[in-house]
């Protein structure tokens, strides 16, 4: 869980902007809710010196000092590079400098590397070798760093991501700021659940919550679905702006608990009726987190049948967004769900 600069700021990133976002992550209560990583995406890179050592550009004069600042706030420090010679935005990539770059990151106190395909060219064995090379370089430093593969879900990356040391891998090309794209990607994750588990996760890209183009129900849909998917939760909104509604969604502790559940099982679709979908994530305590989603254009009732959830005939139901126990139900639970919205519940078999 954390924050990434890309969707909110693109290439307009600077040292002071990152520090301000880190301050705001703490002040807004996001850190207390579990968001921990501050990841600079593309556009921090400067030139290599005569020895080939990478440095930050003029906007990032001292990467080590920035890392120290983040750590002093109890946060973790993420950076971004590419296995190709150039990053997607045309900055310096790590091709041919993998060990040097890994050493630089370790010296700066980096905790997370997003490694983005971009200008790399190669078939699957070449991709595997390139990602593995950086993984080995990171390992060699002795500093633990989360290794985030960004390769847009080509060539079934989920099948080989763990073997190259990936802790997470993008399963898809970029999102954008619209519900249509986010729902296409999010609901399209079904079937990938068997490739995810503790330490190696499917990544359907960042949370666009609070970035402007989605309604409150749509924001809640993304947060609910990403939680049921056990997906990395990386927000990207400007945390220095007061965005009460978005922050309430991002900080909902009961929904976050579903995402962070220790069993680490990725949820899946258990029922569909046209635009109405029911998704279920089994939890460590035996309960089931359930999303009743309405992808249609008007409010409709959505029913979760307990037999589809693998719970007994009689079960208690709690509304997670409303933080409210709803009582004991027999065989099924039905809620009226707004257009593009969700009702998220926890269902627990009665003993």
Indicate which residues carry an active-site annotation: 116, 174
Q: CA 280, CA 291: separation in Å to the nearest integer? A: 7
Residue 176's SS3 state is: coil
Part in contact with ligand GLA (CB under 6 A); list of ranges 54-62, 68-76, 85-93, 340-348: 85-93
Q: Please report, as residue ranges, which positions from 115 to 134 form the binding site for ligand GLA (by CB under 6 A).
A: 116
Shorter beta-carbon distance to ligand GLA: residue 87 or 221: 87
Decide if residue 92 touches ligand GLA (CB under 6 A): no
CB of 41 to ligand GLA, least distance (A): 5
CB of 222 to ligand GLA, least distance (A): 16
| C-beta of residue 345 within 8 angstroms of C-beta of residue 287 | no
CB of 117 to ligand GLA, least distance (A): 8
Q: Which residue is nearest to ligand GLA (CB)?
A: 88
Decide if residue 6 touches ligand GLA (CB under 6 A): yes
CB of 348 to ligand GLA, least distance (A): 37
Q: CA 77, CA 111: separation in Å to the nearest integer? A: 5
CB of 84 to ligand GLA, least distance (A): 11
Q: Which helix (H) or strand (E) holds 2?
A: strand 2-4
Which residues, 6 or more positions from 30, have their beta carbon under 8 angstroms from its beta carbon?
3, 24, 235, 239, 247, 250, 251
Shorter beta-carbon distance to ligand GLA: residue 149 or 344: 149
* Phi, then psi, of 185 in degrees rounded to 5: -70, -50
Binding-site member from 15, 42, 98, 261 for ligand GLA (CB under 6 A): 42
| C-beta of residue 235 within 8 angstroms of C-beta of residue 31 | no
CB of 87 to ligand GLA, least distance (A): 6
Shorter beta-carbon distance to ligand GLA: residue 150 or 270: 150
Q: CA 260, CA 18: separation in Å to the nearest integer? A: 25
Binding-site member from 40, 102, 146, 150 for ligand GLA (CB under 6 A): 150
Shorter beta-carbon distance to ligand GLA: residue 171 or 224: 171
Decide if residue 88 touches ligand GLA (CB under 6 A): yes
Part in contact with ligand GLA (CB under 6 A); list of ranges 57-65, 83-91, 317-325, 339-347: 83-91
Which residues, 6 or more positions from 306, have their beta carbon under 8 angstroms from its beta carbon?
312, 313, 315, 329, 331, 332, 333, 347
Binding-site member from 18, 25, 38, 41 for ligand GLA (CB under 6 A): 41
Shorter beta-carbon distance to ligand GLA: residue 82 or 294: 82
- 156, 116, 108, 99: which is closest to 4 by C-alpha? 116
Residue 250's SS3 state is: helix
Structure tokens at 297: 């254009």
Decide if residue 277 touches ligand GLA (CB under 6 A): no
CB of 189 to ligand GLA, least distance (A): 16
Give the contact letters, 156-195, x = binds to ligand GLA (CB under 6 A), - = no.
Answer: ------------------x---------------------
Structure tokens at 8: 């909110």
Strand 300-305 vs strand 324-330: parallel, antiparallel, or unpaired?
unpaired
Q: Let me know if 47 is exposed, middle or buried by CB neighbors in 10 A (0-12, 13-18, 19+).
A: exposed
Tell me the C-alpha to C-alpha distance, in Å, between residue 228 and each of 191, 222, 249.
13, 10, 15
Q: Which residues bind ligand GLA (CB under 6 A)?
A: 6, 41-42, 87-89, 116, 150, 174
């Amino acid at each position: 869980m954390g924050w990434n600069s890309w969707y909110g700021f693109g290439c307009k990133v600077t040292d002071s902007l990152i520090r301000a976002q880190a301050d705001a992550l703490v002040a807004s209560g996001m850190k207390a809710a579990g968001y921990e990583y501050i990841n600079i995406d593309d556009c921090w890179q400067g030139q290599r010196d005569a020895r080939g050592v990478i440095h930050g550009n003029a906007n990032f004069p001292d990467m080590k000092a920035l890392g120290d600042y983040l750590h002093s706030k109890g946060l973790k420090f993420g950076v971004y590079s590419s296995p190709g010679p150039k990053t997607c935005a045309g900055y310096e990539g790590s091709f041919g400098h993998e060990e040097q770059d890994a050493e630089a990151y370790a010296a700066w106190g980096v905790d997370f590397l997003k490694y983005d395909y971009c200008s790399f060219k190669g078939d699957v064995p070449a991709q595997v070798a390139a990602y593995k090379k950086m993984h080995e370089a990171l390992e060699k430093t002795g500093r633990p760093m989360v290794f985030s593969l960004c390769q847009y879900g080509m060539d079934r990356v989920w099948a080989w991501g763990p073997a190259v040391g990936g802790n997470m891998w993008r399963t898809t090309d970029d999102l954008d700021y619209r519900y249509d794209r986010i729902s296409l990607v999010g609901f399209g994750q079904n079937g990938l659940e068997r490739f995810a588990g503790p330490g190696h996760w499917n990544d359907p890209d960042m949370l666009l919550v609070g970035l402007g183009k989605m309604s409150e129900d749509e924001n809640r849909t993304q947060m609910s679905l990403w939680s049921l998917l056990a997906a990395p939760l990386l927000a990207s909104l400007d945390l220095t702006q007061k965005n009460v509604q978005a922050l309430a969604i991002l900080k909902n502790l009961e929904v976050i608990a579903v995402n962070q559940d220790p069993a680490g099982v990725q949820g899946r679709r258990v029922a569909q009726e046209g635009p109405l979908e029911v998704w279920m994530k089994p939890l460590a305590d035996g309960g089931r987190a359930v999303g009743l989603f309405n992808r249609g254009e008007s409010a409709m009732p959505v029913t979760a049948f307990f037999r589809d959830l693998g719970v007994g005939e009689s079960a208690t139901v709690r509304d997670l967004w409303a933080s409210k126990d709803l009582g004991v139900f027999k065989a099924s639970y039905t809620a009226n769900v707004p257009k593009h919205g969700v009702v998220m519940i926890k269902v627990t078999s009665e003993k």
